[in-house]
Structure 1
Amino acid sequence: MVKLVSPTGKDVVLRPVRANAGIEASYNRALQKWVDALHKSLSFWITAQYRANPPPSLAQDAGFESFRDGSPANAMRRAIHRMSRRWLKAFDKGADELAEYFVDKAAGATDVQLKDVLAKAGFTVKFKATAEVNNAMQAAVGENVGLIKSIAQQHLSDVEGLVMQSMTQGRNLGDLTEELTKRYGVTKRRAAFIARDQANKMTAVINRTRQAELGITEARWRHSHGGKHPRQSHVAASQADGGKGKLYDVAKGCLIDGDLIWPGELPNCRCTAQSVIKGLE
């Protein structure tokens, strides 16, 4: 392990390393493309099935008919299950490749940015593919695979609920289409959140791993000033110590709201760390 030491005797506070906006955008575009294809397919087949086997009107006694094998509700349920199997398989098949691509790009961009930050502070460092970084990357791949799969799982479950409720209540296709469009919007926003949140987390994890490799034991908490609803405790931590940011142990995390956490760890947290290279004693 290389231990960086300030040659001037004074602490050197590095610029924060931030998530690469281009990689986040690329990840988001890929997720949005999958969500769009999923929604388009579901809308087409659900509409076709709804028109071929419309639900009985509310004026009819559908209490018994809805449980018969040949009922419109059962026909729709079977159709949705066929579509669900197809799309779950598609997301499962592509999740590993997309997750690995994103993690590799995010880790590489973090190293490049950290190397540039160190160079501007007067330090020349060559990063290597260490076991610690590889472990962090593999953990991130696993987390992202699960999140990608969950997009399809949650959306399909929600859609099935909406469709079966519509069939039970004898609602028209226009009302159902409106509900499906709303759910589509929810899923698109969740996909965008996953891309943004994971970009922040990935950057923070790789940065923290490199800090340990360089012998950097302290950092200052810095708020990003991004987002419409910032966590006030995170803002306060950034303003601590005369505005320099709260100093914390990199290995343990920063004590905020009674918990030891790291920048970017909590959902939607865009805070960053300013590494502190200690001066000569």
Structure 2
Amino acid sequence: MASKLRRKTPKAKETILRPVHPNAGIAAEYQRRLDALIQDMHDSVVYWLTATYRQNEPRIALDETPADALRRSMKELSSRWLKRFDSMSTKMAEYFAQSVEKRSTAVMKKILKDGGWTVSFQITPAMRDIMDATIHQNVALIKSIPAQYLEQVEGIVMRGVQSGRDLGQVSKDLQDRLGVTRRRAALISKDQNNKATAAFNKARQVELGLTEAVWVHSGGGRESRPSHLKAGREQTRYTISEGWFDPAVGQKIQPGELIHCKCVGRPVIKGFS
């Protein structure tokens, strides 16, 4: 059953609702959980590779190539951590998606209530589809973290062996790789929070029969997109079901859909007599 929207005191003038912003706390918790897994993986990799490297360092210094032992260690570590992330990915993705849906729905309900509207939200097929898609997307992203990290680590170690580099330099390169991986996890958590919030908001608004929204620009801590800044300044209206045509990318988009975009929409409830 679709959600129902009723006004206690009908008015002829249209109402422009407050926007639902992504919740920074949800993104921070998602990032914290990813960071914990990444740090555990990195500590394990450094421990076992350091032990293997030290056993073979005299040969490395002589420009010999004890790559087989290190390659075996990497194979074992990769198998272990790919399985670990795989086992955790669905639980983490479900927790994240459910947190975003619950929070965005609660905020939308409060915004409507503050405006004098009563609403009864239902779990609809559209909402279930978005939930499933969000979980699936985040499972894939979570699994990609160890795959990318471990591939890069193997490259660092093999290049170290080939060039006769000491353990200190290899350790530094591994630490740099950890930083890259953690920054990617931070991007995933924030970007997915924006995207999921936008998707759930759109579905709820469409279910309520809302058809139009006003684009609101919100800087994301990076250089603002000129087209988004202009749309916000001009209070551009767009069709909720289709999105706003962004001339910079040549297609219709939703607020928060593009990477680093933190823009939101203010739904318009049309006036009636």
Establish whether TM, by shorter chain, passes 0.5: yes
- Of residues 114, 127, 145, the one that matches 1:133 is 127
* 1:43 is the counterpart of 2:35: no
For 1:182 and 1:126, the matched residues in 2 are separated by: 50
Match of 1:164 in 2: 158
SS of structure 1 residue aligned to 2:228: helix
SS of structure 2 residue aligned to 1:53: helix
For 1:261 and 1:280, the matched residues in 2 are separated by: 29
* 1:21 is the counterpart of 2:12: no
Counterparts in 2 of 1:1-281, with a 5 A limit?
1=2, 2=4, 7-54=10-57, 56-57=59-60, 60=63, 62=64, 66=65, 72-240=66-234, 245-257=235-247, 258-280=250-272
Q: CA deviation at 1:128?
A: 1.4
For 2:168 and 2:96, the matched residues in 1 are separated by: 38
For 1:74 and 1:219, the matched residues in 2 are separated by: 60
- Give the TM-score of the pair, scaled to structure 2: 0.94
1:81-129: CA deviations, max 9, x gaps?
A: 1000000000000100110011011100000011111111111112111
After superposition, the Cα gap between the structure-2 partners of 1:3 and 1:123, relative to the gap in structure 1 and judged at 3 Å, is closer
For 1:59 and 1:181, the matched residues in 2 are separated by: 25
CA contact (8 A) 2:93 2:135 kept: yes
CA contact (8 A) 1:4 1:216 kept: no
Aligned residues: 268
Q: CA deviation at 1:186?
A: 0.5
Q: CA deviation at 1:228?
A: 2.4
Percentage of matched positions with identical amino acids: 43
1:22-61: CA deviations, max 9, x gaps?
A: 211111110010011011111111110100112745764x
For 1:41 and 1:110, the matched residues in 2 are separated by: 38
For 1:175 and 1:230, the matched residues in 2 are separated by: 38
* AA matched with 2:74: I
After superposition, the Cα gap between the structure-2 partners of 1:121 and 1:55, relative to the gap in structure 1 and judged at 3 Å, is farther
CA contact (8 A) 2:5 2:120 kept: no
SS of structure 2 residue aligned to 1:124: strand
For 1:58 and 1:34, the matched residues in 2 are separated by: 34
* AA matched with 1:252: E
For 1:90 and 1:30, the matched residues in 2 are separated by: 13
For 1:11 and 1:25, the matched residues in 2 are separated by: 36
Gaps of 5+ in 1: 67-71
CA contact (8 A) 1:220 1:273 kept: yes
Match of 1:69 in 2: none
Moved more, 139-148 or 20-29: 20-29
* AA matched with 2:237: L
Q: CA RMSD in A?
A: 1.6
After superposition, the Cα gap between the structure-2 partners of 1:129 and 1:58, relative to the gap in structure 1 and judged at 3 Å, is same
After superposition, the Cα gap between the structure-2 partners of 1:137 and 1:234, relative to the gap in structure 1 and judged at 3 Å, is same
For 2:142 and 2:183, the matched residues in 1 are separated by: 13
* AA matched with 1:255: F
Structure 1 residue ranges, 4+ long, deviating more than 3 angstroms after superposition: 1-6, 55-60
1:197-229: CA deviations, max 9, x gaps?
A: 111111100000001100000011111123122
